[in-house]
Amino acid sequence: MKQLFYLLLLVGLIVYFWQSPVLYPFKLLVVFFHESSHAIATLLTGGRVEEFVINPQQGGHVLSLGGNRFITLTAGYLGSLLWGVVIYSASVKSRYDKVLTALLGISIILMTVLMSSDRFSWFFGLASGAIMLLFARYLPNKYNDFFLRLLALTNMLYVPLDIYSDTISRSHLRSDAYMLAEYTGGSTIFWGGLWLILSLIVIFYCLKWSLTCNELDLKR
């Protein structure tokens, strides 16, 4: 019951503050995860990242050479969702939330240094990573747990909304799904709809799994 209450509380906070500046850094991190997923997929399939950019308007892009185009295009939304699922699952299952926050901060700093291509991306990535390291160093486990779950849930809710907005509601945009349709055939709405269905299924089972774990000890 505590797990369910905690989950509903976090979702309620996210919905309430969705349009406020409070969640702006979290939404930028979702964009960071999206673009970093493109970049990682490019590198893992033998390509090279030429440009990695995050902008203040909650947008960004990755320019790459080589790699498997199907995988790199698919990796954006689904890779970003994977970040959220892994962070949420780890925070639910583990009692080492300070360590998880520190590892996430270090990962963001390393990706920023190795791949970022402009001043804002550097500033945001390094600042975000540094703040997470400060959280891990000075805040108790329960506050790190709250931060990780809030970040992960924001990510998990943002992804299907972004997919719908970019690939279905505004299918004329040159989105990942638009470019994948150009590359493989089909339509933007087909690929966007497929990603949307997959994302909702993954989110459902992730949250269902989290509620079956041992009840959260809020005093840890």
Which helix (H) or strand (E) element contains residue 51?
A: strand 48-55
Q: What pLDDT score does 68 carry?
A: 93
pLDDT tens digit string along 94-135? Answer: 888 999 999 999 999 999 999 988 899 999 999 999 999 999
pLDDT tens digit string along 181-200? Answer: 998 988 999 999 999 999 99
Q: What pLDDT score does 212 carry?
A: 81
pLDDT of residue 137 exceeding 90: yes
Contact 102, 208 (CB under 8 A): no
Please tell me what DSSP assigns to residue 167.
I
Q: What pLDDT score does 2 carry?
A: 75
9: pLDDT confidence band, cut at 50, 70 and 90? confident
pLDDT tens digit string along 64-88? Answer: 898 899 999 999 999 999 999 999 9
Average pLDDT over every residue of 10-34: 92
% the chain with pLDDT above 70 = 96
Q: What pLDDT score does 173 carry?
A: 80
CA angle 29, 34, 38 (to 5 degrees): 140
Name the H helices within 45-171. 69-93, 97-115, 119-138, 141-163
Q: How many residues does the chain have?
A: 220
Which helix (H) or strand (E) element contains residue 62?
A: strand 59-65
Lowest mean pLDDT across 126-130, 136-140, 170-174: 170-174
Mean pLDDT of the chain: 90
Q: What pLDDT score does 3 carry?
A: 77
Nearest Cα to 11, choosing from 216, 205, 203? Answer: 203
Contact 195, 78 (CB under 8 A): yes
Contact 40, 52 (CB under 8 A): no
